[in-house]
Amino acid sequence: MTSTDKNISKFLTLFHAFENALNGEKDHPYHEWRRSAIDRLQNLSFPRRKDEEWKYTPVTRIVTPNYSVPPRGTVSQKQLDATRIPDFDGVRLVFVNGQLRKEFSDWENLPEGLTVTNMDEAFQHSKYRQSIEKLLADNTEYGKDPFVTLNTAFSVESRLFHVSKNTQLDRAIHFVYINTEEDQPYFANPQKLFLIEEGAEASFVESFQSTAPNRAEYFNNIVNRFQLGANTKVHHYKMQNESRTGFQINNTEIFQDRDSIYSNYTADLGGRMVRNNLSAYHKGENATTNLYGGFMGRDEQHFDSHTLVDHAIPHCQSNELYKGILTDSARGVFNGKVVVHKDAQKTNAFQQNSSLLLSDKAVMDAKPQLEIFADDVKCSHGATIGQLDEDLVFYLRSRGLTDQKARETLQNAFLLEVMELIPVPALKQYMADLITQKFEDATTLEAL
């Protein structure tokens, strides 16, 4: 198999090695699905700078390394313990280099109402199969880009999380992603599908970290799909602290039925280059989408968040707040697309993106993108890019705080507006601590 994009060709070649290592899994029906993905990949190419959706994020840097399939990786008990969130009783599912490690996970203690099914197995149930095929179809905004297809082709350990009707999960599910340093750069393709049945409520936390935060070279190519039934509530947290030499592309899509609420809280702190495609599609009335994000970039870090809220139905709401701080030569991108279709009357859509630039070389590109075709809607957006207010710095210093402490305090306060939206105190504290660590540039796992 070949492609006109030489980077695609590399992945096609790698697929053979991957396939041969699958052993028995090759005969599963899900593997057919993988194969069809690799067939589609042949005809795709990676985005270039001339593609509007990718103009600020040079993806070539991410796809050029010669990646291997992910090695198993070694993690010490201390390193595992350090990934625990203090005062937070989540059900931990630990993934090392993208692969689920049941021996480190609370696999036996899944909360009542949650069924986790391997994709190979899920594919054999007709009710699941339909959902899977629908959720992973390539026909959505970012589904067209090759990263989703690549993820499907190489996904192992993909799982379907099914929350049954009218169940409230009594504990949050904590996906702990740990990446190790290996001889060769590798790429992992975590894939999770969430089916939330009518009336159910659940919280999902994803945390990303590395045992070699300054050296581990890898590429996490992540796909998440959420299907929210009527009257459901989902809180979804992403605490991204990848290695400074690691890449992440995160494709998360949410399909919401009537009266459902999906809230996303993202903190992007680690990684060399990170791209989030976060898209919500409304399928029923009175759906609410809350997208909240904070980022803090230094050195040459690059964070790109593309959000999409597709208001296709009347009487739906969306709220977006993204705030970030960039220093050194860091770069940030926020592209907030809101589409209000002709029939989606009485839509309320709010979007705000504010950034602080602390150095001359830091760059922020902010692009609110509102496409409104209905005439009875309330939509607003705002984007501000500024510096720390020196009057505030002076005030704090006049009370005895050092210049550095004063600036840290104000930077923290700037991001706090986003943190304040997190409903779980332990998670709010954890994110705040990660941010403080980032200010101090502390690395944790490596020292353990």
Partner 1 sequence: MLNIQNLSASIGDTKILRGLNLDIQPGEVHAIMGPNGSGKSTLANVLAGREEYIVSDDSKISFLGEDLLEFDVDERARKGIFLAFQYPVEIPGVTTATFLKEIINTVREEQGREKLSPPNMLKLMREKIKLVDLPQEFLKRSLNEGFSGGEKKRNEMLQLALLEPKLAILDETDSGLDIDAMKVVANVVNDLRRKDRSFIIVTHYQRLLDYIIPDKVHVLHQGRIVKTGDKNLAHELEEKGYDWLKQETAATS
Residue 308 or residue 419: which is nearer to partner 1 going by CB? 419
- Least separation in angstroms between residue 354's CB and partner 1 is 11
Give the DSSP per-residue string, 66-77. Answer: --BPPP-----H
Give the DSSP per-residue string, 361-411. Answer: T-EEEEEEEEEE--SS-EEEEEEEEE---HHHHHHHHTTT--HHHHHHHHH
Residue 396 or residue 426: which is nearer to partner 1 going by CB? 396
Q: What is the DSSP letter of 183?
A: S
Rounded-to-integer distance, Cα 434 and Cα 423, Å: 17
- Least separation in angstroms between residue 418's CB and partner 1 is 10
- Least separation in angstroms between residue 289's CB and partner 1 is 24
Q: Which of 52, 87, 403, 433 binds partner 1 (CB under 8 A)?
A: 403
Residue 374 or residue 393: which is nearer to partner 1 going by CB? 393
Residue type, 259: D
Question: Could you tell me if 311 and 347 are in contact, meaning their C-beta atoms sit under 8 angstroms apart?
Answer: yes
- Least separation in angstroms between residue 205's CB and partner 1 is 24
Residue 103: partners with Cβ closer than 8 Å, 6 or more residues away? none
Residue 372 or residue 388: which is nearer to partner 1 going by CB? 388
Q: Under the criterion CB under 8 A, does residue 392 sit at the interface with partner 1?
A: yes
The residues with which 99 forms a beta bridge, in sequence order, are: 96
Q: Which of 127, 375, 399, 441 binds partner 1 (CB under 8 A)?
A: 399
Q: How many residues bind partner 1 (CB under 8 A)?
A: 24
Residue 341 or residue 397: which is nearer to partner 1 going by CB? 397
Cα 196–Cα 202–Cα 204 angle in degrees, nearest 5: 105
Q: How would you class 16 by CB atoms within 10 Å of its CB: exposed for 0-12, middle for 13-18, buried for 19 or more?
A: exposed
Q: Which region among 102-110, 166-174, 338-346, 386-394 touches partner 1 (by CB under 8 A)?
A: 386-394
Q: Which of 66, 371, 394, 436 binds partner 1 (CB under 8 A)?
A: 394
Residue 384 or residue 402: which is nearer to partner 1 going by CB? 402
Residue 29 or residue 386: which is nearer to partner 1 going by CB? 386
- Evaluated on CA atoms 278, 279, 284, 285, the torsion sign reads positive
- Least separation in angstroms between residue 303's CB and partner 1 is 21
Q: Which region among 3-11, 162-170, 286-294, 385-393 touches partner 1 (by CB under 8 A)?
A: 385-393
- Least separation in angstroms between residue 413's CB and partner 1 is 3
Polymer length in residues for the chain: 448
Q: Which of 121, 397, 426, 437 binds partner 1 (CB under 8 A)?
A: 397
Residue 19 or residue 417: which is nearer to partner 1 going by CB? 417
Site for partner 1 in 5-34 (CB under 8 A): none
Q: Which of 36, 395, 433, 447 binds partner 1 (CB under 8 A)?
A: 395
Rounded-to-integer distance, Cα 138 and Cα 167, Å: 30
Question: Could you tell me if 169 and 113 are in contact, meaning their C-beta atoms sit under 8 angstroms apart?
Answer: yes
Q: Under the criterion CB under 8 A, does residue 373 sit at the interface with partner 1?
A: no
- Least separation in angstroms between residue 55's CB and partner 1 is 32
Rounded-to-integer distance, Cα 301 and Cα 77, Å: 29
Q: Under the criterion CB under 8 A, does residue 39 sit at the interface with partner 1?
A: no
Residue 67 or residue 414: which is nearer to partner 1 going by CB? 414
Rounded-to-integer distance, Cα 87 and Cα 75, Å: 23
Residue 40 or residue 397: which is nearer to partner 1 going by CB? 397
- Least separation in angstroms between residue 241's CB and partner 1 is 22
The residue assigned the tokens 């593997």 is: 31
Q: Kindly write out the interface string for residues 404-433 of this chain, putting x where it contacts partner 1 by CB under 8 A and - elsewhere.
A: -xx--xx-xxxxxx--x-------------
Question: Could you tell me if 364 and 353 are in contact, meaning their C-beta atoms sit under 8 angstroms apart?
Answer: no
Question: Could you tell me if 132 and 161 are in contact, meaning their C-beta atoms sit under 8 angstroms apart?
Answer: no
Q: Which of 103, 127, 400, 440 binds partner 1 (CB under 8 A)?
A: 400
Q: Which region among 275-283, 364-372, 397-405, 434-442 touches partner 1 (by CB under 8 A)?
A: 397-405
Site for partner 1 in 180-239 (CB under 8 A): none
From the list 430, 33, 22, the residue with the least C-alpha distance to 241 is 430
194: left (phi over 0), alpha (psi -120 to 50) or beta: beta
Give the DSSP per-residue string, 139-166. Answer: TSTTTTSHHHHHHHHH--S-EEEEE-TT
Site of interaction with partner 1 (CB under 8 A):
389, 391-392, 394-403, 405-406, 409-410, 412-417, 420
